[in-house]
Structure 1
Amino acid sequence: MEYIQVITTVATKEDAERIARSLLDAHLAACVQIIGPVTSIYWWQGAVERADEYQCQIKARADHFSQVEEAITRIHPYDMPEVVAMPIPTCNAAYASWLRQELHD
């Protein structure tokens, strides 16, 4: 089974925790780490913007990405949320076993 780390950002810690809880309750994530605040500097509607945000790092199954994306998008407060995924090519055996246990069908 392949695993991914999905990343999204939100404006408040409360929004980050709401997304985390929703994904955990649906068993779409084994773990969500909330980091922040982080500073984001980005283009938006023709201007460079700056915002303090909270980043969610979500451990999930690769074959469940579309479900994770849909769940995030459904409750995310932004008009166009960042939802990106990176493969987890390898990890220690105990962590991989725990992921399998928590993210079973």
Structure 2
Amino acid sequence: MRALFFPYPRLLLLPRAFSMASHPPDASDSASSDYIAGSVSVVFVTCPSEKVAKTIARSVVEKRLVACVNLVPHITSIYDWKGKIQEDCEVMMMMKTQTSLTPNLTEFIRSVHPYEVVEVISLPVQQGNLPYLHWVKDCTTRK
């Protein structure tokens, strides 16, 4: 019977927090107008190994194509390849960059990645921590 009780009473506040988060900030708020929605993107790339992912990650940071790369090890990918269902252990790279750099980033990744068809998926960031989003832009701006 114990499992029927909610073990974290403080989390009962979550519905209120979610309802507050679902309302976008007021457009008159100067902090909210400081970021152009979609000008930063998160780019996802899968790699066959941590070694390959680290090599690519270091290269794209050095070239200022991205500000940061997070490596998520040990993901399992199940997919159809040339008519057969495949299952592989891979490493996911999550890269943060300016959306305008995505074509150059994609071109570079395709030139160094070992896969015949490379997964490069870019998702624009609509909102986030403004200092972080500005940091991404600063890191990826040529100096």
Q: TM-score, with normalisation over the residues of structure 2? A: 0.71
Give the unaligned 5+ runs of structure 2: 1-35
Q: Deviations 1:20-55 (Å, cap 9, x if unpaired)?
A: 011011000000000011000000010110000000
For residues 21-36 of structure 1, what are the structure 2 equivalents within 5 Å?
Answer: 21-36=58-73
- Taking the aligned partners of 1:104 and 1:64, their CA distance within structure 2 comes to 10
Q: Percent of aligned pairs with the same residue?
A: 29
* CA positional deviation for 1:78: 0.4
For residues 80-99 of structure 1, what are the structure 2 equivalents within 5 Å?
Answer: 80-99=117-136
CA RMSD of aligned residues (A): 1.0
Would you identify which runs of 4 or more consecutive aligned residues in structure 1 move more than 3 Å?
Answer: none
- Is the strand fraction higher in 1 or 2? 1
Is residue 92 of structure 2 the alignment partner of residue 75 of structure 1? no
Q: Give the corresponding residue for 1:10.
A: 47
Secondary structure of 2:70's match?
strand
Q: Is the 8 A contact 2:66 2:136 kept in 1?
A: no
2:75 to 38, 44, 48: 38
Q: Give the corresponding residue for 1:49.
A: 86
- Taking the aligned partners of 1:100 and 1:6, their CA distance within structure 2 comes to 15
- Taking the aligned partners of 1:40 and 1:100, their CA distance within structure 2 comes to 31
* CA positional deviation for 1:94: 1.8
* CA positional deviation for 1:100: 2.3
Max radius of gyration: which structure?
A: 2
**Structure possessing the higher relative contact order (Cα contacts under 8 Å, 6 or more residues apart):** 1
Give the unaligned 5+ runs of structure 1: none
* CA positional deviation for 1:91: 0.8
* CA positional deviation for 1:101: 1.8
The number of residues matched between the two structures is 105
Q: Give the corresponding residue for 1:20.
A: 57
Bigger shift: residues 64-73 or 93-102: 93-102
